[in-house]
Amino acid sequence: MSFTQDLAQATAPLRRQIHDMPFNRELAEGRLDPETFQGYIIQDAHYLEGFARALALAAAKAPDAPTVAQLSGSAAGAIAVERELHAHYMGLFGVSADDFAKIEPSAACDHYVSFLLRSATTGDFPEAVAALLPCFWIYRDIGREIAQVSGDANPYAAWIATYSGEAFDQSVERMLDLTDRLGAKADEAARQRMHRAFARSCWHEWRFWDSAYHRESWRRPAA
């Protein structure tokens, strides 16, 4: 069993729950409330900026030039997705740049980004990579699954095409290969750190979608 297969087995129940969440099931059927998707897209734009920063920080710790290029390229790709896919939907929803700037990251978004930045800053390189992997892997698997049952008339077809497409699949496979190589070389303590980071990011993926579906932001103290 490869190291990533071990990660998948250890987190299988949670990852299955993510696939079965109302957000993803309703998106697949094209009946997700547009306001819910709008809120998600805005938070995802905030998230992807932080995700790109975490990738860049991890790239600075990479042991060789090809890995630096891989992670730096993924960071640039995350920004490209934010500009293209999110601009498409924000245009449809009439969300201007000024409107977006006024909307702060949700608690779930802020928590996830903070975890990734902390992992990339204070964790070792294998731990940082393990923390970054779920965003690649889970989105690819969900995109593929939804693409099998969704038609071209789905209002979220552009989102589905992005995450089920070949270009994204190739970036995921490169990240899986890197994680496997790091896991194979790591000692038991390092592998345990990688497991914990991966599982925590899987939880954050679940929390991000759950928060978006319920349109949660920050809980405020009672006046």
What are the pLDDT digits (tens) for 74-86? Answer: 888 777 776 777 7
Q: Coil, strand, or helix at residue 180? A: helix
Q: Coil, strand, or helix at residue 70? A: helix
DSSP 30: T
Look at residues 197, 138, 174 and name the one whose alpha carbon lies nearest to residue 12.
Answer: 138
Provide mean pLDDT across the span 167-196: 95
Alpha helices in the chain (DSSP H): 3-10, 12-19, 22-29, 34-60, 65-93, 97-101, 107-122, 125-149, 157-164, 166-185, 188-213
Question: What confidence tens digit (pLDDT) does each residue in 135-146 have?
Answer: 999 999 999 999
Provide mean pLDDT across the span 32-45: 93
Ordered domains of the chain (ranges, CATH) = 8-213 (1.20.910.10)
For residue 147, what pLDDT band results from cuts at 50, 70 and 90?
A: very high
CA distance 174 to 191: 19
Give the H/E segment covering residue 74: helix 65-93
For residue 206, what pLDDT band results from cuts at 50, 70 and 90?
A: very high
Number of neighbouring beta carbons within 10 Å of residue 84: 11
CB 58 within 8 A of CB 125: yes
Cα 168 from chain centroid (whole Å): 12
Q: Which pLDDT score, from 0 to 100, does residue 99 have?
A: 79
